[in-house]
Amino acid sequence: MIESQSPAKLRHSLGPLNRSEDEQRAFFLAVLERAQQAETKAGTVERCFAVAGSFIKVKFAGNMLAQLFTAALAHLEVPPTSRADAVFHIWDSKSSGIEMVPPPWSRACFTHRGDIWTMRSQQFKSAYLLGEYALNLFDTATATGVYWTQSAERLPAWAKSSPMRCLFHWWAETKGYQLMHAAAVGTEVGAVLISAKGGMGKSTTSLSCLDKGLTYIGDDYVIVQLDPFPKVHSLYCTAKLNWDQMAWFPRFSDSVKNHNRRESEKAVMHLYPEMRERIMRSLPLSAVLTPRISGRQQTELAEISPPALQQAIGLTTMWQLPHTGRHTQHFISRLIESLPGLCLSLGYNLDSIADTIVRLLANPTGEAKHFPNKNRNKELTSHPLVSVIVPVYNGARFLPESVASILVQNYPNIEIVVVDDGSTDGIDNMVQRLPVDVRLVKQDRTIGLAAARNCGILEASGEFITFLDVENLWPEGNLQIMLALLSEDGGCDVVQGWGQMLKADAATSPHDSVGFSEESFSQYLTAAIYRREVFQTAGLFDETLGAGDDTDWFSRAREHGLKLRQVDQVTLLVRRHDSDKLRGKSLRELNTLKVLKDALDRKRAKSV
């Protein structure tokens, strides 16, 4: 059985322990064999679905998962056919009596979105979804997928409202399509794609439009095709909404299927067959929208910059789906470049939502011309995603200023990952008040700074990774300079600058410089930018040290032959304050001697 707890402490040895391609192939084949054994023992229930112009055959081991999963796909079901563009095998151990193969990883390798740290094959995709206790595997060469969970009875409602989404995601990529965390509604002439993080009005928009007679493609996940022209395909005939908002849509109240889980889940509606006349399988795309709640009465269209639109619709998809990366960013950039893109400023008059979208669909190009920004920025694809990891432990008061120092970099493609290390000072409320969307990853207990950084690395989506401890700041222009240096030297793995010590002094200025940057500590992890791959090569940070993990990591990086470039400029502003845990620490307490001893031990081991 695969453990389902949140990720535990991550040892720095995780990096070099990546599983080989042969090991990952062997694991996939072993799990596939178990799935087929489960089908033989429990009886195969075979269903076929027409998805985005292809036929997907799904083989269930017994009736239980077949009943739970097919309701969300009922509008796409077709009679059995010998043709299959992909085959998914679905099973659980409890009902079939067939146990899972022991996995070649520990639970420390799991991430919140599903990636498994040591499983990096491009052919054999893998993900473990903590919230569903479910393993997903997919062979991109044969379009064969496997979904396993220990017990179908334990699955939450969202797993049944969007079943097998990892398998559909990976299959869609093999076709050149993209599964997106988005809604889509339309008329007979086309559809709009509506995407944003949760709580921004995406579901309210799609249900308001369906309620007023518009056609419905999907509420939470849809498949988008770019060539030969942008098109959106339906995947699930379900919708999710907060329970208190169900009063706005009494028409759909009988479609709710999870009344017994009101305390822990959103209301999940199954819209088929009642809405069969309004649910469309596919429509051409006419525009891309991201909603924002305005507080005004009427819904209106508003301008949004291309980078802001990219952030709004790109990051929410990348945060939801495992193994997304630069190829996902490139797809979404092309989508934005090919269609009008606008902000949908939502008013509290729900009728005005559908009216606004109908007007837009009647003349999408004309409506977009009301705004000077046409969203056709060809530079979107040239800016790789940079993930900024911000560990926080009871530092909510510092967060707005540290995030502001990230935003003034004026880099158009940034992902901010805030890792809450068990804070008790209202970090959730502070994150909600930030002027930018960030990803908040919460730990149930305090695990330490190195472990929080490791967690951030595993959760990050970017090609490049950098760190900013919550009490510190970046100089203006810092990110652009470091990224340019790293990009111009293809053989360089890390660019590192200096840290400038600051001291808060309310009597003079917000922060005063202390000493010279060149005389400061030379191994600040947070004064550097890294290619993502370096943490696969040299490993993660050593969580056993408590302090000194920065010196230890740079020592291991050099031992592994990574190229580190030191630049003669300040790239980090280090704020010292009364609660600083490192104030007054001795060399022994800072683990300096242990780091040196570990480095010598590794050198001696190599020479033996």
Write the pLDDT tens digit of every residue in 532-561. Answer: 999 989 999 998 887 788 889 999 999 999
**What is the C-alpha separation between 30 and 124, in angstroms, rounded?**
13
269 and 147 co-located in one domain: no
Same domain for 111 and 152, yes or no, is: yes
Q: Are residues 339 and 254 in the same domain?
A: yes
Of 368, 393, 423, the residue that ends a domain is 368
Indicate whether 446 belongs to any domain: yes
- What is the reported pLDDT for 373? 56
pLDDT of residue 374: 47
In a domain, 1, yes or no: no
Nearest to 235 by CA among 319, 162, 134: 162
What distance separates the 2 farthest-apart alpha carbons in the chain?
Answer: 79
Pull the structure tokens for residue 363: 């003349």
Instruction: Give the per-residue pLDDT at 4.
Output: 33
CA dihedral sign of residues 280, 285, 290, 296: negative
3 within domain boundaries = no
In a domain, 378, yes or no: no
Shared-domain flag, residues 281 and 335 = yes
Residues 489, 94: Cα–Cα separation, whole Å: 53
Residue 333 shares a structural domain with residue 468:
no
pLDDT score for 548: 80
- 119 and 203 fall within a common domain: no
Domain, as residue range, for 33? 12-174
Number of domains in the chain: 3
Instruction: Note the pLDDT of residue 564.
Output: 94
In a domain, 7, yes or no: no
**219 and 165 in one domain?**
no
**R_g (Cα) of the chain, nearest Å:** 25
Q: Which residues pair with 449 in a beta bridge?
A: none
End-of-domain residue from the set 318, 333, 368: 368
Return d(Cα 373, Cα 289) in angstroms, integer: 14
Domain end position, chosen among 368, 394, 424:
368
Residue 387 sits in a domain of what CATH number? 3.90.550.10
CATH number of the domain encompassing residue 218: 3.40.50.300
Same domain, 167 and 218: no
Looking at the structure, do residues 170 and 182 belong to the same domain, yes or no? no
Give me 27's structure tokens: 């694991």
* 585 in the same domain as 438: yes
Q: Is residue 6 part of a domain?
A: no
The rounded distance, in Å, linking the Cα atoms of 37 and 85 is: 23
Pair 78, 90 in one domain: yes
* 63 and 108 co-located in one domain: yes
Decide if 147 is inside a domain. yes
**CA–CA gap between residue 293 and residue 289 (Å, rounded):** 13
Query: What single-letter DSSP state applies at residue 590?
Result: T
Regions of the chain short of the pLDDT cut 50? 1-16, 374-378, 505-509, 514-519, 579-597, 599-604, 608
pLDDT at residue number 587: 39
Query: Tokens for 68?
Result: 């739970």
pTM of the predicted model, to two decimals? Answer: 0.88
Residue 353 inside a domain? The answer is yes
CA distances from 534 to 319, 494, 539, 551 (A): 22, 8, 7, 15
Per-residue pLDDT, 446: 83
Residue 12, helix vs strand vs coil? helix
Q: Could you tell me whether strands 282-293 and 190-194 are parallel, antiparallel, or unpaired per DSSP bridges?
A: parallel
